[in-house]
């Protein structure tokens, strides 16, 4: 009795009870402990959802619950075919947020079948009243759920929840929580409260990082985190046991290092998940293994807020105080050791969490694949006869230059506002340069992209790159001299596919001596020039193919160029980039301009070599995204990561000899090119034939080159024609538009208020724009008013820019034309006309009612009255009519040459205004619901009521730009 009283009075007991109770209330075992059925374990089909019937079916975010809205007329049937044997819990019910009030409750009626067996028939469910079934599923079993409306209410969202049936999971959770606090309390009461802090934090990290993968709370997360805590506690009590203080100190140091290491992976997973909303995937690990620590760190720097760096640094500091704990224990307490041992055994019963398997499996796959690839390349060299390669004895030199992280959107050659490619811009004007306008990379990571580029494998032929010959196998077999000259690392942390390819070359020079660990290069890319010169000094006959791998614009852009190339360090961002503040854009653009210089120097070097026939082929491994700041991480993919530069240069001798190939190449230069076809392009370029060649359709030097856009997939799974690929759909729509003879008017982009956007629009092929102006005493400032929306550009900046002359139409929406500034406005227009000949190109639009507006027209400029958009709100016919008379009187007096109006006014203009205004007035309109990137843009355009009205001269539409202001 007394013992029981003492036990109940024990402070430790009550601490454990209280802490356990709080934890369990927070965790709610039973509610959130759902081992979900993985999506690979079943296939689901839904019948009955249609436009007429309605209905909805979707899997919720934690992947256990399917939300189902019943159809209006007939039932929705969802049927799951299971692929594995499992016990499942199937619950049907009405979502809690469905209606429940005096008028009644939402009601959904369910029927459930397991194969042919009817389990539930016409079960009426309401919020708070669900039904759970336990089913023993064999592989191939079909479970179907029929869902019908019950009582007629609007909100009647039903659900079907499918979980694995693990009846003891909730009990295990309770058990682990109590166990955790027992170990904790014991540990603290042994005097180690300070030591328990880092261990608790480490346990939480482990718990959260495992949780991040299943987003469901389960017993195994708790098991692993308590295992960490009790193992640390056991180890720590061993560490502080020895009486010799030096041994104690040594053991403590070892312990701290181990604890820190054990927390590193969980920490990275947690950091990544918090930042990007999803945990690390296999592709992230692949990217990591084939690059190097430095790149991974610079990648994290790229993406993570500074605060995370402080936390990362704090992680080791957290464990350091353990080194100074002086307390020595006299006897080892067996309790924690026993708990630890039991937990270790239990973890073997549970599955290893995904956080650990993803990391370790990725590493296993990576090394296996790389080994296979190397072996395969060696065997092709050894048995080159099987490749049946034609011999190449001509005296020719080829440079194959591989750019790094080069975004076409940051090159003036491709329409970027800053002059980042002056050399290429002038080279492009020569007949011996061919520039591809639609080149993309097949992957966003260097090693994966280049292993597809340099082997016969590509996405379309579905060959496996590990089993395919490389272009160097072919060149070797053709008796060509091959060189690999690189400023990149020879090895990643664990070696990579690119170095495996490079190793096959006759000669290899890696000027970057920081082997394996970092991408800190000793030299800028320009240092490669000397190496190439030296290597080719004595070459005068035979065919030479030199692969040049640049460091280009690899992460840590500011380390990629010498000081004299720091051309962009000002921050007139608004005038260039509108509302966007692109990440690290100055150093990136500096690295681009340096890259342009280096490549042009290489062309000069090539040109100076004593050979007749010479050619250069430049492409990039992938691009870089500076807008969402995701760099080129495939798991955070967006389409800006793949638009790369690709171009060729040829000597006169080459052009003479291979004229038909060049003609084909020029013909193909506007077609889509993916860089996994580089293998075929090099075969075409050098004219080498082999049994290991793909069809002509993949060879850009062939007349038969044709890649179906719809068959292209990026990263092997993302459709190139995906509706989210706006750049692609804009291009397609512009092509369709230029062939559309039914549209009688010109179409231009609305609100081109930043210079970046102006350049983008002209690069897309628009020769007209609309922009907003605020007249400021002597200057037309571009922007639509308020400091926030003024770009800092003047109209003169636009006219004076390198694309100024290409504009044949500029719609000037003057926001502040008034009686008292009309004279000055006109004066300025005349000055600009003297300088830039704008009279025939501009059109001055204003909503001013001032009768002085006619002065501008009389001076020879086109003017337009901006019709008040609010007329479209009026319904009363008499008012509509009187408005028309009012407007007609005014514009007659103003003598405008045109009217401009929102498309919603089109009906009023045709019915009321048109009969009473001069017929020669031009009409201009805008319909901002039309967006050029829409996949159904052309259809939408044709559906507009004004689509075939030839009184309309111009239509403004919305063209999205990151540089919109």
Q: Residues 162 to 181: which contact Zn ion by CB under 5 A?
A: none
Which three-class secondary structure state does DSSP give residue 205? Answer: helix
Instruction: Give one word for 128, left, alpha or beta, with left for phi > 0 and alpha for psi -120 to 50.
Output: left
- The Cα 311–Cα 729 span in angstroms is 43
448 vs 773, which CB is nearer to Zn ion?
448
| Rounded least distance, CB 676 to Zn ion, Å | 15
Segment near Zn ion (CB under 5 A); pick from 24-32, 616-624, 658-666, 812-820: 616-624
Q: How many residues bind Zn ion (CB under 5 A)?
A: 3
Measured CA to CA in angstroms, residue 742 lies from 11, 529, 910, 932, 951 at distances of 87, 55, 20, 17, 14
Say whether residue 141 binds Zn ion (CB under 5 A). Answer: no
| Rounded least distance, CB 405 to Zn ion, Å | 5
Say whether residue 753 binds Zn ion (CB under 5 A). Answer: no
Segment near Zn ion (CB under 5 A); pick from 79-87, 401-409, 759-767, 954-962: 401-409
Segment near Zn ion (CB under 5 A); pick from 294-302, 445-453, 522-530, 858-866: 445-453
Tokens standing for 763? 């690069």
| Rounded least distance, CB 713 to Zn ion, Å | 20
| Rounded least distance, CB 353 to Zn ion, Å | 32
What are the start-end ranges of the E strands in 95-250? 100-101, 104-105, 108-114, 117-125, 131-137, 142-149, 158-164
| Rounded least distance, CB 422 to Zn ion, Å | 24
- The Cα 620–Cα 403 span in angstroms is 4
Say whether residue 624 binds Zn ion (CB under 5 A). Answer: no
Segment near Zn ion (CB under 5 A); pick from 86-94, 188-196, 391-399, 621-629: 621-629
Cβ contacts of 876 within 8 Å, gap of 6 or more: none
Tokens standing for 905? 């006014």
251 vs 641, which CB is nearer to Zn ion?
641
| Rounded least distance, CB 621 to Zn ion, Å | 4
Segment near Zn ion (CB under 5 A); pick from 407-415, 446-454, 557-565, 828-836: 446-454
Segment near Zn ion (CB under 5 A); pick from 102-110, 506-514, 617-625, 881-889: 617-625
| Rounded least distance, CB 448 to Zn ion, Å | 10
675 vs 894, which CB is nearer to Zn ion?
675
Among 156, 292, 621, 845, binds Zn ion (CB under 5 A): 621
Segment near Zn ion (CB under 5 A); pick from 48-56, 402-410, 870-878, 917-925: 402-410
88 vs 447, which CB is nearer to Zn ion?
447
Tokens standing for 276? 């990007």
209 vs 633, which CB is nearer to Zn ion?
633
Cβ count near 350 (within 10 Å) = 14
Cβ count near 50 (within 10 Å) = 13
- The Cα 922–Cα 845 span in angstroms is 12
Say whether residue 237 binds Zn ion (CB under 5 A). Answer: no
The vertex-4 CA angle with 189 and 182, nearest 5°, equals: 30
446 vs 668, which CB is nearer to Zn ion?
446
| Rounded least distance, CB 576 to Zn ion, Å | 26
| Rounded least distance, CB 446 to Zn ion, Å | 3
69 vs 633, which CB is nearer to Zn ion?
633
239 vs 439, which CB is nearer to Zn ion?
439
Q: Residues 403 to 442: which contact Zn ion by CB under 5 A?
A: 404
Which three-class secondary structure state does DSSP give residue 923? Answer: strand
Segment near Zn ion (CB under 5 A); pick from 138-146, 155-163, 416-424, 619-627: 619-627
**DSSP per-residue letters across 639-675:** GGGTB--EEEEE-HHHHHHTHHHHHHHHHHTTSEEEG
Segment near Zn ion (CB under 5 A); pick from 484-492, 615-623, 654-662, 929-937: 615-623
Q: Report the chain's terminal Cα–Cα distance, integer Å.
A: 80
- The Cα 686–Cα 648 span in angstroms is 13
Among 412, 446, 863, 897, binds Zn ion (CB under 5 A): 446
Say whether residue 575 binds Zn ion (CB under 5 A). Answer: no
User: Within 491-540, where are the H helices?
Assistant: 497-502, 528-536
Residue given tokens 């050791």 in the structure block: 337
Q: Which residue is nearest to Zn ion (CB)?
A: 446
107 vs 621, which CB is nearer to Zn ion?
621
DSSP annotation of 353 reads P
41 vs 621, which CB is nearer to Zn ion?
621
| Rounded least distance, CB 444 to Zn ion, Å | 8
Say whether residue 553 binds Zn ion (CB under 5 A). Answer: no
How long is the chain? 965
In this structure, the strands spanning 809-814 and 768-776 are: parallel
> Cβ-count burial of 140 within 10 angstroms (0-12 exposed, 13-18 middle, 19+ buried)?
exposed
333 vs 638, which CB is nearer to Zn ion?
638
Measured CA to CA in angstroms, residue 608 lies from 427, 534, 844, 942 at distances of 16, 13, 54, 56
Inter-residue contact 219 to 260 (CB < 8 Å): no
C-alpha torsion 346→350→353→359, nearest 10: 80
Q: List interacting residues with Zn ion (CB under 5 A).
A: 404, 446, 621
């Amino acid at each position: 009795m007394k013992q029981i009283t003492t036990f109940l009075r024990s402070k430790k007991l009550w601490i454990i009870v209280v802490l356990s109770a709080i934890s369990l209330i927070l965790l709610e075992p039973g509610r959130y402990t759902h081992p979900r059925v993985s999506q690979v374990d079943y296939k689901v089909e839904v019948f009955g959802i249609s436009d007429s019937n309605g209905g909805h079916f979707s899997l919720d975010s934690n992947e256990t619950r399917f939300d189902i809205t019943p159809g209006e007329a007939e039932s929705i049937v969802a049927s799951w075919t299971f692929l594995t044997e499992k016990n499942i819990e199937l619950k049907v019910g009405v979502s809690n947020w469905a209606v429940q009030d005096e008028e009644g409750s939402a009601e959904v009626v369910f029927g459930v079948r397991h194969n042919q067996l009817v389990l539930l028939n016409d079960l009426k469910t309401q919020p708070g009243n669900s039904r759970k079934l336990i089913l023993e599923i064999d592989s191939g079993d079909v479970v179907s759920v029929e869902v019908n409306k019950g009582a007629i209410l609007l909100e009647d969202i039903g659900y079907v929840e499918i979980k694995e049936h693990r009846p003891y999971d909730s009990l295990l959770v309770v058990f682990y929580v109590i166990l955790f606090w027992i170990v904790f309390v014991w540990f603290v009461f042994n005097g180690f409260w300070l030591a328990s802090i880092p261990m608790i934090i480490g346990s939480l990290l482990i718990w959260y990082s495992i949780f991040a993968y299943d987003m469901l709370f389960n017993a195994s997360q708790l098991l692993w985190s308590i295992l960490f805590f009790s193992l640390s506690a056991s180890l720590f009590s061993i560490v502080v046991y020895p009486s010799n203080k030096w041994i104690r100190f040594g053991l403590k140091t070892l312990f701290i290092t181990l604890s820190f290491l054990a927390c590193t992976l969980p920490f990275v997973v947690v950091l990544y998940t918090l930042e990007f909303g999803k945990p690390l995937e296999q592709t992230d690990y692949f990217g990591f293994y084939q690059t190097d620590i430095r790149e991974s760190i610079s990648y994290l720097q790229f993406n993570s807020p500074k605060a995370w760096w402080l936390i990362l640094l704090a992680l080791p500091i957290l464990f350091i105080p353990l080194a100074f704990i002086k307390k020595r224990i006299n006897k080892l307490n067996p309790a924690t050791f026993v708990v630890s041992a039991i937990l270790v055994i239990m973890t073997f019963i549970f599955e290893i969490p995904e956080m650990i398997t993803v990391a370790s499996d990725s590493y296993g796959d990576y090394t296996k694949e790389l080994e296979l690839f190397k072996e395969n390349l060696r065997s092709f060299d050894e048995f080159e006869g099987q490749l049946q390669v034609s011999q190449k004895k001509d005296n020719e030199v080829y440079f194959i230059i591989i750019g790094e992280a080069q975004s076409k959107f940051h090159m003036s050659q491709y329409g970027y506002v800053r002059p980042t490619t002056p050399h290429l811009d002038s080279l492009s004007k020569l007949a011996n340069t061919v520039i591809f306008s639609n080149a993309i990379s097949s992957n966003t990571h260097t090693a994966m992209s280049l292993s597809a580029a340099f082997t016969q494998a590509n996405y379309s032929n579905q060959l496996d790159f590990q089993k395919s010959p490389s272009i160097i196998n072919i060149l070797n077999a053709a008796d060509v001299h091959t060189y690999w000259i690189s400023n990149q690392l020879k090895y990643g942390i664990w070696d990579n596919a690119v170095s495996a390819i490079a190793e096959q070359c006759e000669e290899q020079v890696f000027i970057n001596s920081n082997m394996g660990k970092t991408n800190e290069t000793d030299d800028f890319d320009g240092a490669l020039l000397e190496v190439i010169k030296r290597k080719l000094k004595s070459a005068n006959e035979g065919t030479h193919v030199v692969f040049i791998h640049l460091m280009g614009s690899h992460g840590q852009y500011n380390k990629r160029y010498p000081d004299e190339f720091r051309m962009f360090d000002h921050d007139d961002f608004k005038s260039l980039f509108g509302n966007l503040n692109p990440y690290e854009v100055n150093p990136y653009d500096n690295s681009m301009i340096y890259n342009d210089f280096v490549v042009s120097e290489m062309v000069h070097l090539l040109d100076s070599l004593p050979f007749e026939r010479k050619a250069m082929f430049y492409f990039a491994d992938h691009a870089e995204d500076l807008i969402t700041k995701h760099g080129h991480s495939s798991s955070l993919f967006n389409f800006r990561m793949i638009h790369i530069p690709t171009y060729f240069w040829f000597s006169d001798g080459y052009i003479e000899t291979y004229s038909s190939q060049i003609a084909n190449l020029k013909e193909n230069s506007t077609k889509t090119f993916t860089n996994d076809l580089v293998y075929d392009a090099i075969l075409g370029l050098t004219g080498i034939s082999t049994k290991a060649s793909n069809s002509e359709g993949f060879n850009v030097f062939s007349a038969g080159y044709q890649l179906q856009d719809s068959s292209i997939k990026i990263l092997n799974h993302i459709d190139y024609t995906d509706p989210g690929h706006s750049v692609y759909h804009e291009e397609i729509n512009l092509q369709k538009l230029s062939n559309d003879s039914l549209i009688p008017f010109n179409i231009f982009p609305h609100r081109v208020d930043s210079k970046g956007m102006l350049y983008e629009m002209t690069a897309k092929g628009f020769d007209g724009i609309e922009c907003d102006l605020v007249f400021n005493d002597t200057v037309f400032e571009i922007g639509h008013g308020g400091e926030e929306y003024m770009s800092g550009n003047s109209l003169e900046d636009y006219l004076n820019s390198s694309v100024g002359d290409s504009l044949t139409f500029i719609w000037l929406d003057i926001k502040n034309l008034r009686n008292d500034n009309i004279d000055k406005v006109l004066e300025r227009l005349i000055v600009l006309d003297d300088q830039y000949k704008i009279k025939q190109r501009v059109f001055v639009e204003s909503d001013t009612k001032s009768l002085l507006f006619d002065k501008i027209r009389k001076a020879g400029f086109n003017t337009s009255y901006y019709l008040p958009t609010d007329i479209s709100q009026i319904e009363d016919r008499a008012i509509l009519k009187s408005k028309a008379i009012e407007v007609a009187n005014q514009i007659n007096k103003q003598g405008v040459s045109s009217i401009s109006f929102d498309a919603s006014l089109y009906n009023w203009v045709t019915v009321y205004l048109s009969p009473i205004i001069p017929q020669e007035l031009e009409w201009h309109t805008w319909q901002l619901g039309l967006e050029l990137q829409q996949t159904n843009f052309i259809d939408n355009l044709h559906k507009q009521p004004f689509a075939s009205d030839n009184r309309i001269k111009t239509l403004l539409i919305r063209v999205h730009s990151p540089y919109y202001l």
